[in-house]
Amino acid sequence: MSELKNHMDAIVSFDSEMLILVDNHDQEIGHQNKLSCHAGSGVLHRAFSLFLFNESGELLLQQRSANKQLWPLYWSNSCCSHPRRGETMEAAIARRAQQELGIVTQFQYLYKFQYQVPYKDIGSEHELCWVFIGQSSAPTQVNDNEIAGWRFISAADLEKEMQQAPDRFTPWFKLEWRRLTHDFRDALKALHVQLSTTGV
């Protein structure tokens, strides 16, 4: 147990890690460290977002650590990060899900999109993001350096919260959730997500 605790307290994100720069067509064009990728208006780089649901169809939400440079303490999807230089997307997702949540699971690719959003005057996200979904009933062991809080939530309750307090959620999460619940309803229903009949 002590080894697991030490692992889940480990620092797994570094300003110096080299990310994959891409063009508008997601073609790799170079590499740059994470800090400079998020400075100013940002440099377009490859990223991913993973949505994990339990057997009841509830989404695992994470609250970003207070130590995050961008959007600290905001609620977001289960896991989001970047593949590093020379790393495949699948390997990056498996690595981060284990590092942040202590979970090993299967996941399914749905779509990719590009977005650019500034956070105050501190920096920006400028990503070409691949979006995945998966299911896991494994015990969650969060990394305190990455995650301030976590919980499972139903689609209906999530919608209420997002309507009442949209500023509590990261901008990419709101974009992705809207797309998932409109364009990928069948994929969500296959994971037992209870969506409204009129569209969420």
Query: Any idea which residues carry the catalytic annotation?
Result: 80, 127
* Cα–Cα distances in angstroms (integers) from residue 71 to residues 26, 41, 79, in the given order: 25, 15, 14
Cα(10)–Cα(143) distance, integer angstroms? 7
The kind and range of the H/E element at 182 are: helix 171-183
Cα(67)–Cα(70) distance, integer angstroms? 9
Q: Under DSSP, is residue 118 helix (H, G, I), strand (E, B) or coil?
A: strand
Residue whose entry in the numeric block shows the structure tokens 């956070």: 119
